[in-house]
Structure 1
Amino acid sequence: MGQLIISNKEKCNLSYTCVRVCPAKAIKIADKHAQILPDRCIGCGQCVTMCAQNAIEYRSEIENVEKLIKTNSRVAAICDPAISGEFTDVADYRKFVAMIREVGFDIVTEMSFAVDLIAYKYKDLVDNFQGKHFITTKCPPVVNYIEKQEPELVDNLAPIVPPYIAMSKVLHSRYSDDLKVVYLTACTAAKDEAKHFYHTDGHVDGVLTFIELRELFAKKGITENTVEFSEFDPPLGRKGGLFPISHGLFQAVDINQGLLEGDILITEGRTNFLQSIKEFKSENQLNQHLDLFYCKGCIQGPGMSQGGKKFTRRSQVIKYVNKRMKAIDAYQWRLDIEEFKNLDLSRSYRTKDLRLPVPTKVEVDVILADMGKSKREDQLGCGACGYPTCSEFAVAHLQGLTDYEQCYTFSIKKLRSYVNKVNASNEKFKKSQEALVKSEEKARQEEGLAKEAAETTTAMLNKLRAGVVIVDSNLNVIEANQRFVEMLGDDAKEIAEVIPGLKGAELKSLVEFHKVFSTVLQSGQDVLDRDVDYNDSIFNVSVFTIKRNEIVGGIIRDLVTPEVRKEEVIKRAQDVIKENLETVQQIAFLLGESASKTEKTLNSIIEAQQLGEHGTGK
């Protein structure tokens, strides 16, 4: 049928309220949400009522009950007496009886008769005391808790079935073994407990909470205005109707527990329940039977509508019982009690020891130290984690039920550390950003300077009378001046109009002497003053390395042009002077003759050549 209590990961906000109220350590914080451990859960439903986000809910049996009603079998409803405290909005109890019939139930009974019946069984335990004190078993969470968490007290559980199982036995006995039975209650734990009696003559086929019953009414459009009065089917109970409130069970058999003569300790509520169990187990001074409600009476059970006021509900139950007592036929009631007093209302229990191993103090101290709580003053015990003390939290952590982030102070310290790291990172990022801005500014300045330098270089290259070209390792032009373009002719000029400076053009497609450039690229050795034929001219080509094996530059001069021819004559005459000077110096050293005469003669030749060219206008 599925898990009884279920959490919703999407709705959980990790308030740890559920952990705080769970008496069985059946809630584990994992994967960023509260997870219910079904084996440990006692079904008390307190986590359901306490979760403000409605992130925890119990298993619905509405669909199952609707299927039962649609079968050919007769279906009976057993109403917990707390129903009068639930339907305070209904003017007369005969109206909600009629509304239940309208849902489709063939028989509608009240559990109060069964309470009257088992109250006599408890009276026998009290009256025939043989030195062994008992714990009443009318409350399913109490039984679950003792079986799972206090197994040594299982023998102290009263061997008596809960009232709704007793009532189911009565119905099966009176009506039919094939009768289907649905229990209407304020208790969520009964949904699972009923399964333990499924193969007995008191089997219950479905359990609906009052909240689910209201949902059925709404689904079918049933209100008190749509039905007429109807009475409960017999057998009817008397004081058993007080069952949902403290003392109610023993009031049914007129057992009054005064402070001086009473030997039954009656208490309710989670805190009192846990404390009474603890003292019953360890304190010999108690020496009393325990009559316990886990909730603050059934009238405050998790299956009741939320927001109901305890004392208003208590008052409603008492008023209802008083009214019923006046109407019930006492003689018939005694006959009914006599008819069913010999029913087997006994039960047995199973030990399901789910206590977790208790860690040593050394292990606990290690966890506290890891959390930064090694000093006593750091162990605040604020309770925000769901555990009353830091030590208990550490124990739960060692038992695999918690993680460090569940601790408020640990999380705050971790958050502060994280914030400090983030602040440091932000400061570092800010400095990096400032450095980047400066770097970008510097880069822009350098880019501007580079652009200016490139423009200056281009302008300077275009001022040269010689052609200049720079190529990369693939002989693609990186830069070429205007003179080089003009030297190559009209085709190159057309290309330059589209691609200034012939940038990216292949040198192979422009000149035939590109092999000189390839040679310098491969060898790294400059080639200077090489004369090559180009169309109707003679080019003087000098190729030199700019970046070895990657970039080379070339200076090309057209020797046919007058200015270049003049420069070439002068250059070559100067080369002759230099070479002859070296020769003359060597001869003068050998013959003792002065080299000045040769120098003057050669200089006069140069001057005469220059004068001659000037005179001819060349």
Structure 2
Amino acid sequence: MSTLGIISTNKARCRDCYRCVRICPVKAIRISEGQAQVDPTRCLACGTCVRECPQKAKQVRSDLARVQGMIADDGTVIASIAPSYVAAFPDYGGGLFAALLKKLGFTMVTETAVGAEMVARETARLVDEEPHAHVASACPALVDMIVKYHASAVGNIAPVVSPMVAHARYLKGRYGEEARVVFIGPCPAKKAEAELPDVAGAVDAVLTFEELRTWVDSSQVRKDQLRSADIDDILASLARLFPLEGGLAEAASMGPDLLRQDFVAISGSVEVEEMLENLKNGSTVRLFEALFCPGGCINGACFGDGKDVFRRRNYVLQHQKRAARPTDEADYAAAMEQTDLRRAVSENPIDRPQISEDEIRAVLARTGKTEPEDELNCGACGYHSCRDNAIAVLTGMAEHNMCIPWMRKVAERKTDQIIDNSPNGIVIVDSSLRIVDFNTAFAGLFSCGPGIVGKPLSTLMDPGDFEKVLARSVDRIVNKDVSFPAYHVSASMNVYRLEDEEMVVGILANVNKGTGGLSRLDHIRQETLSHAEEVIQKQMLMAQEIASILGETTSETRVLLRKLTELMKESEENGHGSTQ
């Protein structure tokens, strides 16, 4: 089944979260340069990625303009509506839905459930005639999955067309080949099915419920102006349950023994995989009624009403109970007589290149997985295991940098290298002001080694600024001039808090080490002490000339005292630099 262009990615919305890779049942998402792209040769058009993408980056091809063009041509255009329409448009009950479609321009409005009734009866006949295990063929995504990925089970697919195709063939047989049939339902895979070569021409176009809702919203049709209208052609009954698990068996009126012993109704890709495994091992089940979406067609990817599947299920059940009249056996017999309900299903496996163990090991090694215990199999990349991801890399479906734990390690190493090679001294302390980490430059400034980790910051410097930031008295310290005379270091210090962590980082920039790099305050101290010694020596050497010398040294002493006074004033200030 070709799915070319049916599901695609809106690149502007894609955020590289790998959600679509993770939930795609057949891993049909190709990651290229960080962007998720749908591979049409692998895609089933099931719409799982459309339903699950948190950014709404996956989109389904719209055929709305083509259908509107058909109606504008004034020919006969027949709407074939899936039985789940009652759950998708619950506000249009009592004949209003048929009236709505006719107001939009459809010539006739008919129920796809009529085709489902035919398919159910034909499938029951097939099971009676051929007692081996069969898989019902109503779901196109399921059939495509088997055809592409499980060729050994192709022979188990019931060679019966889907309800959509059966109904379209019947309508064209009754109203003429020139009549155009538009199927309306919740499943994007129906668009691909309608274009299959062996059923092409039966269905002229497929609209999803979401496309129809868009059409209604943009039209001038008002609900309060609609008048109830009847469904055209044959009315359905039990086959209205087809979108639910077990609906086929109910429509076919299969006996309770078959239901209890030889019949299994399943839904969802996980149960489908289990069914295929059961078939591979030799199943005793005579009929698997399998629907690809969890919960059945009432959970189709393009349902779009926002209601939960349980409420949708109730709408469908109530609709079946309100069937206007029992199925007219003569009408159905005549319809089945004139309609070809069979089709041939052949395998069409995707290309799977042979990959050696050495190639897989080489890809794993690129992300640091050289031993089995290195393979975390965490699924963060979207694949079930590290080996699956490696195979995807080799087949061009994935990139090695999708490994989140590995990329985190790479980022941490790069960060460590940047910090360690920085010329600035960097230190990190915890909420107790104990040293957690530091870089090489800091170690060089304070002549410390690994043993300082866990020690109080106060063993190296005054932690006052760090305390202020930690206590949130200030947001941060910016470019504050500091000096550490014991280490002959002066610098510009920045202190800030690590968000969401009780840790504080200190960065010493514009570092000067040695007496040449002392701050102005340290220069005053050093110059004052040196000058004081000179004054004392002069006083001792020139004691005999005390009268004349005293005047000179008194003058120098006054200068000395002024500098000491300036020193005291600066030491009493709250430092120089700024806080924010």
Give the TM-score normalised by structure 1: 0.66
CA deviation vs aligned residue, 1:405-461 (integer Å, no higher than 9, x gap): 21111111111112112223433699799998879xx9xxxxxxxxxxxxxxxxxxx
**2:291 maps to 1:328:** no
**Which structure shows the bigger proportion of residues in helix conformation?**
1
| Map of 2:171 onto structure 1 | 171
Does the Cα contact within 8 Å between 1:48 and 1:57 map onto a contact in 2? yes
1:286/1:371 CA distance change after superposition, 3 Å? farther
CA deviation vs aligned residue, 1:221-242 (integer Å, no higher than 9, x gap): 3343221101110111111100
Q: Distance in 2 between matches of 1:103 and 1:31?
A: 44
| Map of 1:288 onto structure 2 | 286
Does the Cα contact within 8 Å between 1:84 and 1:93 map onto a contact in 2? no
Does the Cα contact within 8 Å between 2:161 and 2:342 map onto a contact in 1? yes
> How many matched pairs?
435
- Cα distance, 1:329 vs structure 2: 5.0
Q: Distance in 1 between matches of 2:94 and 2:128?
A: 36
- Cα distance, 1:257 vs structure 2: 5.5
| Counterpart secondary structure, 1:262 | helix
| Map of 2:210 onto structure 1 | 211
- Cα distance, 1:66 vs structure 2: 0.6
Does the Cα contact within 8 Å between 1:49 and 1:306 map onto a contact in 2? no
Q: Distance in 1 between matches of 2:376 and 2:199?
A: 51
Q: Which runs of 5+ in 2 are unaligned?
A: 427-440, 442-490, 493-507, 517-580
| Counterpart secondary structure, 2:422 | helix
1:425/1:222 CA distance change after superposition, 3 Å? farther
CA deviation vs aligned residue, 1:393-414 (integer Å, no higher than 9, x gap): 2222222211122111111111
| Map of 2:127 onto structure 1 | 126
- Cα distance, 1:42 vs structure 2: 0.8
| Counterpart secondary structure, 2:78 | strand
| Map of 1:189 onto structure 2 | 189
Q: Distance in 2 between matches of 1:215 and 1:223?
A: 14
Q: Distance in 2 between matches of 1:218 and 1:372?
A: 53
Percent identity among equivalent residues?
30
**2:325 maps to 1:309:** no
Q: Distance in 2 between matches of 1:418 and 1:207?
A: 52
| Counterpart secondary structure, 1:427 | coil
- Cα distance, 1:370 vs structure 2: 2.4
Q: Distance in 2 between matches of 1:103 and 1:424?
A: 70
- Cα distance, 1:375 vs structure 2: 3.2
Does the Cα contact within 8 Å between 2:133 and 2:283 map onto a contact in 1? no
| Counterpart secondary structure, 2:95 | helix
**2:354 maps to 1:363:** no
| Map of 2:339 onto structure 1 | 343
1:88/1:258 CA distance change after superposition, 3 Å? farther
- 1:12 maps to which of 11, 14, 18: 14
CA deviation vs aligned residue, 1:78-107 (integer Å, no higher than 9, x gap): 0000111111233x2411111111111001
Amino acid at match of 2:325: I
Q: Which runs of 5+ in 1 are unaligned?
A: 443-618
| Map of 1:450 onto structure 2 | none
1:65/1:262 CA distance change after superposition, 3 Å? same
- 1:56 maps to which of 44, 55, 58: 58
Does the Cα contact within 8 Å between 1:198 and 1:205 map onto a contact in 2? no
1:175/1:367 CA distance change after superposition, 3 Å? same
Amino acid at match of 1:236: L
1:87/1:344 CA distance change after superposition, 3 Å? same
1:228/1:435 CA distance change after superposition, 3 Å? closer
Q: Distance in 2 between matches of 1:96 and 1:436?
A: 76
> In the TM superposition, what are the counterparts of 1:439-478 in structure 2 within 5 Å?
none
**2:274 maps to 1:275:** yes
Q: Distance in 1 between matches of 2:117 and 2:511?
A: 88
Q: Distance in 1 between matches of 2:397 and 2:118?
A: 43
**2:91 maps to 1:89:** yes
Q: Distance in 1 between matches of 2:151 and 2:358?
A: 27
| Map of 1:78 onto structure 2 | 80
- How much is the aligned-residue C-alpha RMSD, in angstroms? 2.6
Does the Cα contact within 8 Å between 1:2 and 1:59 map onto a contact in 2? no
**2:380 maps to 1:384:** yes
Does the Cα contact within 8 Å between 2:4 and 2:40 map onto a contact in 1? no
Q: Distance in 1 between matches of 2:305 and 2:354?
A: 37
Q: Distance in 1 between matches of 2:137 and 2:197?
A: 14
Does the Cα contact within 8 Å between 1:197 and 1:203 map onto a contact in 2? no
| Map of 2:238 onto structure 1 | 239
1:285/1:111 CA distance change after superposition, 3 Å? closer
Q: Distance in 2 between matches of 1:100 and 1:260?
A: 37
After TM superposition, the structure 1 stretch with the greater mean CA deviation from structure 2, 93-102 or 422-431, is 422-431
Larger-gyration structure (1/2): 1
- Cα distance, 1:145 vs structure 2: 0.9
Amino acid at match of 2:30: K
